[in-house]
Every structure is written in C-alpha cells, then in structure tokens.
Structure 1
C-alpha cells in the first residue's frame, strides 16, 4: 500500500514539471506548424512535430504506468509511403495524433491541481508525524489553540506524531486517489481507441484469411499431386496393359474391338483427368513458376500472344494461381468470343501489388458480369485484389487484375 502511494506521489509530483513542459511544447509546436503550413517545409515540420509529440506522449504513458501497474499501450498505426504528403495525411488521419496533443495541453491544469494537492497533503501528513524533530525550532507562543500546545510543548509534539500516524492512511488514500484520477484521464486520451482496435482487427482478419488461402492452395496442390501420381499413373498402367493384351488378341477378331474400345475409353478418361488436374492447380506453376506457366498458355493460344514480365519473379502460391487463371480466362474468351488475332500478357510488380493484364485486339463487347469473369473476380477479391475489364464495342479488350503481394 505504501509502495503504491509512493508511486502515486511520484506521479503527481512529476506531473507539475511535465505539465509545464507539455504546455510549452504544445504552444511552440502549434505555432511552428501554423507558420510553416504555407511553405514547402510545412509537411516536414508537421511530421517532425508529430514525432516529438509522440515521444513526449510515450513518456506520459510510461509515467502513468507507475500508478496503473503497466505502461499504457501505444495507439499508433504504422505509416508507410515515401511521399511527404501521403505520410502527413496518414499521421493527421489518426485520432491518436490529436489525442496526444490534447493530453499535453490538459497536462498543465491536471498536473498543477493533482501535484499541488498531493504534495501539500503528503508534506503536511509527514510533517505532523515528524513534529518532535522540527517543531522545537519554530516556537510560536501566539499560535491559536490547539496548535500552540501541539507545537510548543514536548507532549504536544509527540501527540502530533500520534495524530499524524492515525491520519496517515487518510493521507495515503488521498494521494492514491489523486494519482489514479490523473492516470485514468491520461489512459482515456493516450490508450488505443476504437480506430486502433479496428485496424488491429482488420490486420488479424487479413492474416487469418491469408493463412486460409494458403492452406487452400496447399490442399489443391496436394489433390493435384495425388491425382497425378495416383489415379493418372494407374490409368496409364491400365492402358499399357490393354495395349499388350490387344497384341495377344489380334488373332481373335471378336475380342480385339472390345479391347480397342477399352483403350480409347482409358485415353479419354486420362485426357479428362489431365484437364481436371490443370483446372485445380497447373503443375507447371509449382515446378517452373508463373512466367513459365503463362508462356505455356501463350504457346497454346490459337493466335500469337506476346508475354512481358520478369522471368525469375516468384510470388505467393495463391497469387500465382490467381494470376494464371486470370490469363487463362482472358485468352480463352479472346479466342472463343472475340475473334482476336493478337494479344499481349503483361506481368509487373508495382509497389506491393502484382499487376496482370491481358490485351487482345478482338471485337470487344465482353460482359463483365459473365459467369467466368464473376468466378475470377471472387478468386481475386479473396486475396484483397481487384479485377477490372475494359471492353468497348469494337475492341480492344483489357482484362486487368491487381493482387497484393503480401496476401
């Protein structure tokens, strides 16, 4: 109890000096930002002032932790971007920036009230307990009753000690109440608010979704591998066995047609299985990467397609899979519905995004709400990406997907 009271007394006592410093800094910072806001230095000054203010507020959070038991958590949202204007907008858009400034302004009256009251109560309480050690040095025969006997006589001085010890719990309670009131007010302004909670929740959901998408992609790769190494291999083996049986049965004209039919059925099943495997997850994506798989799509296209992009670039598996199916759908639609004679595939990384574009010179007029494009849009949006289609009548058609690299 005494330790907590000591921390509370230290908090309200240092609040006197912190309040003066905070108020002086708030006024100086506000003037600096206002005076430079019409110049090219305005953004830099604002960012510098915000940096210092956050450091000052960080000290206040640790100081309030003396009373609260733990420092107040920082409420700031990370700011990214290399442009000053963008960073200024991001910092100014956070409520914590202005709540820090509000606390530094309020810290002066709060610090004065709690600091003066806490120190007076503590000093009076301790002085009463220690009366025998100092009261003899300040005799005052004209002091009113009951102060005169308490200060001018030895029994009275020891009586003051007894009174002080009796009132010490009250003194401790008052000091703790003053410290707790100031610390709770600091927590109300400096602790993470609804904005930070929503940002943290959005980050957590994005991370959870990323893990789910990665798990789904891994599961699709597992299914593709099992189909490729299991069922497909067995069908191939069965086909080879039937081929050997056909050679042995050539003398039997009745059995040979049935064996040949079985071989054709196995070939059809194998082709269907391979198409199914490619539709789940193209093996070439895992083996050789996005650029090689897109090159294979371009090579299979019925019209010439030019591929532009970094050959060695690799991206998260879910991103590569989505980009592959976007290109596959774009080329298929261009060949089947647009009568295109030439096309281009562009893959580039722009900041934190992978941008994939499929151009064709077909007749255009593609329906953005088509079933194929709608499925692609859901696949892309699951990664926090965006899919857009530009296809005026007469062409050309541009299918663009932007996929976050961190998804």
Structure 2
C-alpha cells in the first residue's frame, strides 16, 4: 500500500514538471510544422518532431503503467520504410500521432489540477505527521491559543501527529485516486483505440494463419519423408526377402529360415517405425490416460531424472493437450541432446482458462529460440492463441514455457 501511494505521489509530482514542458513542446512543434507545411521540408521535419514526441509519449506510458499496475500498450504500427518524405506523410495519416499530441497538450491542465490537489494534501498530511520533528524550529508567538498549543508545545505536536495518522487513509485515497484518474486518461489516449486493436488483431491472425499453414505443410512433408525413407522402405525390403525365400523354396527346396527371420525382423522394425510416427502425430496415451499420465510416461522413458509437477487440470481440449505434450517433449529432447542436463523438471498447472507448461533443465543453456524445433513449437502454440517463451542464458539454466488458453 505504501509503495502504491509513493508511485501515485511521484506521478503527481512529475506531472507538475512535465505538464508545462510537454505543453510548450506541443505548442512549438505545432507552430513549426504549420509554418513548414508550405515547404518541401515539411515531411522530414514532421518525421523528426514525431520521433521525439513518441519518446515523450513512451515515458508517459511508463508513468501510467506504474500507477495502473499493468503495461500500457504502444499503439504504433510497424516501422515505416522509404525516404523521409514518404514516411513523414504516412505519420500524418496515423491516428496515434495526433493522440500523442493531444495528451501532451492535456497533461498541462490535468497535471496542474490533480497534481496541486494531491501533492498539497499529501505534503500537508506528511508535515502534520512529522510535526514533532520540525515545528520546534519555526515558533510563532502570534497564533490563537488552541493552535498555539498544537504548534508550540511538545504535547500539541504529537497530537498533530495523531491527527495526521488518522487522516492518512483519506489522504492516501485522494492521492491515489487523482493519480489513477490521470493515468487512466493517459492510457485512454496513448494506448491503441478499438479500431487499432481490431486491425492489429487481424494482422496477427493473418500472420498466425500463414505460420500454421506453413507448419502443417512442413509436418506433412516430414510424415511423407518418414514413411518413404523409414517404414515404407522396411516393408518393401521385407517383401523382397519373403519373395526371395519363396523362390528358394520353389526352385531348389533350400531352407529359407534365415530369410524368413530377416523378413520378420524387418517387419518388426517397420511396425516400430509406424508406432513412432503415430506417436509423433498424436500419442495414443493422451487419449487413453490424459495429459498428466502422458507426461509421466515421457519422463519415465527419458535417460535423465525428470520430475513432473502437475496440479489438477480438469477437462482440456484435445488440441491443447497435444500442444502441451509436445512442448514438454521438445523441451525434454533439447535438454537431453543439446544442453547436457543432469536433471529436468516439467511443471504443468491450470489457472482459470489458461494452461501453463514449463520445462526447466540445469544444462549449459544457450538454446536458440529460432531453431527449427522451438520455432515449430511456437507455431503450434500460436495457432491456439497461446504464447511460447524461451529463457536460456549462456551457462544455463534453460526454461521453455508455454501458456495456452484452455476454455472448452
């Protein structure tokens, strides 16, 4: 609570300083842009001005985030390309440019009103609480009797401290409310608007759809290659061996026991290959026994000690179960193959409508988050509107964490 009040008071204090500065900046840049709008230098000048304005708006988003207790999103689109003239003209058409400017203008009156009220009340209450520390240094013999007793006697000063402490909750509420109202207004202007959010979501979905299509195409190519080079080749070899054995029996009457044994071994290997391929598409244990049991089986087959920490997961969509399983499987495979880990922990838990799975190993770290395996996982997770993060500093440890929406 004290930290929150300190953030609110600091926000109001800095607003008193930043408000006039941003107002002057907005006024001067508007005048300069207006004068230059009739010249060939207008787009590059506007580009430079907007760059600085966005830095100031970014600072405002950070200040608002401290008060609101949540990140304040940036509304800007992808970096513009081209020459300064085309980029400057594009910035003029971007709504976020004018919303930033509007807040820089409004910060002056908003900071003045909320800042003066909150800061004065807060400082007066703080001074009242600390009255015994400083009032002795400023005696005033011309005060009325009651006030004179409070200000000029030790007992009265401690009474002021008690009064200040009693008023502290109301003062804290006033300061935090003033700061929150100001931060909320800043977020309303400096965050993406509804149309921007919709457009951004549409772009994200388009990118995710393309990545999913690419991932599915790559998966189909992998399955075709595994079938062609693995199981199919083994079955063909087994057929040829059986055909050779049949010819020997028919033509010469020779024993074909060795050939038949070879054919059986090839068929067993082909069956094992097909089972491995099926597990790579969707492990049957997920359908039969659920995600927790599948992870326990995965840990049991690993060549290093693996601890599975699982809470009550409830019913999960099959696609979410499959994605969580493959996140754990890929993280464990990386720990074995690349990290030289001695132990690994798989943690899976459900919080509301979000399923989180984390694979932590004590290996040497340095995992490449853009590698083919992790990138394929990211695409699988993003297809379900989830997120995947990889933390792997040099020297370790490595943590692969996925969060998946799991509402049925």
Aligned counterparts of 1:168 and 1:211: Cα–Cα separation in 2? 55
Alignment of 1:224-373 (within 5 A): none
Give the aligned partner of residue 67 of structure 1. Answer: 67
Aligned counterparts of 2:214 and 2:23: Cα–Cα separation in 1? 51
Aligned residue pairs, count? 236
Alignment of 1:4-403 (within 5 A): 4-144=4-144, 146-214=146-214
Give the aligned partner of residue 377 of structure 2. Answer: none
Aligned counterparts of 1:154 and 1:191: Cα–Cα separation in 2? 52
CA offset digits 1:143-179 (Å, max 9, x no partner): 2463222112222112111111111222212111111
Aligned counterparts of 1:220 and 1:211: Cα–Cα separation in 2? 14
- TM-aligned CA deviation for residue 221 of structure 1: 6.6
- TM-aligned CA deviation for residue 58 of structure 1: 0.4
**1:79·1:91 contact (CA, 8 Å) conserved in 2?**
no
- TM-aligned CA deviation for residue 133 of structure 1: 2.2
**1:131·1:157 contact (CA, 8 Å) conserved in 2?**
yes
| Distance change >3 Å, CA 134–CA 78, structure 1 → 2 | same
- TM-aligned CA deviation for residue 194 of structure 1: 2.0
Give the aligned partner of residue 316 of structure 2. Answer: none
- TM-aligned CA deviation for residue 223 of structure 1: 10
**2:43·2:86 contact (CA, 8 Å) conserved in 1?**
no
**1:95·1:195 contact (CA, 8 Å) conserved in 2?**
no
**2:4·2:176 contact (CA, 8 Å) conserved in 1?**
yes
| Distance change >3 Å, CA 82–CA 141, structure 1 → 2 | same
Q: Which moved more, 1:220-229 or 1:17-26?
A: 220-229
- TM-aligned CA deviation for residue 45 of structure 1: 0.4
Aligned counterparts of 2:224 and 2:114: Cα–Cα separation in 1? 70
| Distance change >3 Å, CA 149–CA 48, structure 1 → 2 | same
| Distance change >3 Å, CA 148–CA 194, structure 1 → 2 | same
**1:128·1:161 contact (CA, 8 Å) conserved in 2?**
yes
Aligned counterparts of 2:72 and 2:78: Cα–Cα separation in 1? 18
Aligned counterparts of 1:161 and 1:220: Cα–Cα separation in 2? 75
Aligned counterparts of 2:223 and 2:125: Cα–Cα separation in 1? 78
| Distance change >3 Å, CA 138–CA 220, structure 1 → 2 | closer
Instruction: Report the TM-score when normalising by structure 1.
Output: 0.52
**Residue 146 of structure 1: SS of its match in structure 2?**
helix
| Distance change >3 Å, CA 71–CA 212, structure 1 → 2 | closer
Aligned counterparts of 2:54 and 2:39: Cα–Cα separation in 1? 24
Q: CA RMSD in A?
A: 3.0
| Distance change >3 Å, CA 155–CA 44, structure 1 → 2 | same
**Which structure 1 segments of 5+ residues have no match?**
235-407
- TM-aligned CA deviation for residue 201 of structure 1: 1.5
- TM-aligned CA deviation for residue 214 of structure 1: 3.1
| Distance change >3 Å, CA 146–CA 208, structure 1 → 2 | same
Aligned counterparts of 1:58 and 1:196: Cα–Cα separation in 2? 17
Aligned counterparts of 2:76 and 2:35: Cα–Cα separation in 1? 26
**1:12·1:179 contact (CA, 8 Å) conserved in 2?**
yes
Give the aligned partner of residue 321 of structure 2. Answer: none
Aligned counterparts of 1:175 and 1:18: Cα–Cα separation in 2? 18
- TM-aligned CA deviation for residue 222 of structure 1: 8.3
Give the aligned partner of residue 244 of structure 2. Answer: none
**1:36·1:42 contact (CA, 8 Å) conserved in 2?**
yes
| Distance change >3 Å, CA 222–CA 125, structure 1 → 2 | closer
**2:7·2:66 contact (CA, 8 Å) conserved in 1?**
yes
| Distance change >3 Å, CA 212–CA 138, structure 1 → 2 | closer
Aligned counterparts of 2:72 and 2:186: Cα–Cα separation in 1? 9
Q: Which moved more, 1:127-136 or 1:33-42?
A: 127-136
